[in-house]
Amino acid sequence: MRGYRPNNTRRAIIRKATLIARAQPSTRKKFFEFFTVPIRNANTRAAYYRAIQQFLAWAERAGYQDLEDIEPITVAAYIEILQRQAAPPTVKQHMAAIRMLFSWLTEKGVLAMNPAREVKTERFSRTEGKTPAFVEGEVQKLLGVIETYTHTGLRDRALLGVLAYTFARTPFPARTGCG
Neighbour count for residue 124 (Cβ, 10 Å): 10
Return the pLDDT at 14. Answer: 47
Rounded Cα gap, residues 68 and 118, in angstroms: 16
Return the pLDDT at 19. Answer: 78
Return the pLDDT at 177. Answer: 58
Return the pLDDT at 126. Answer: 61
3-state DSSP call for residue 165? Answer: helix
Residues of the chain below pLDDT 70: 1-16, 124-132, 167-179
3-state DSSP call for residue 5? Answer: coil
Neighbour count for residue 47 (Cβ, 10 Å): 17
Rounded Cα gap, residues 45 and 97, in angstroms: 9
Return the pLDDT at 4. Answer: 44
- DSSP, residue by residue, 31-92: HHHHTTSS---HHHHHHHHHHHHHHHHHHHHTT--SGGG--HHHHHHHHHHHHHHS-HHHHH
Angle at alpha carbon of residue 115, lines to 43 and 88, rounded to 5°: 45
Is the CA virtual torsion 29, 32, 37, 38 positive or negative?
positive
Return the pLDDT at 167. Answer: 67
The per-residue pLDDT for range 11-43, each reduced to its tens digit, is 554 455 777 888 888 888 999 899 889 988 999
Instruction: Give the predicted TM-score (pTM) of the model.
Output: 0.62
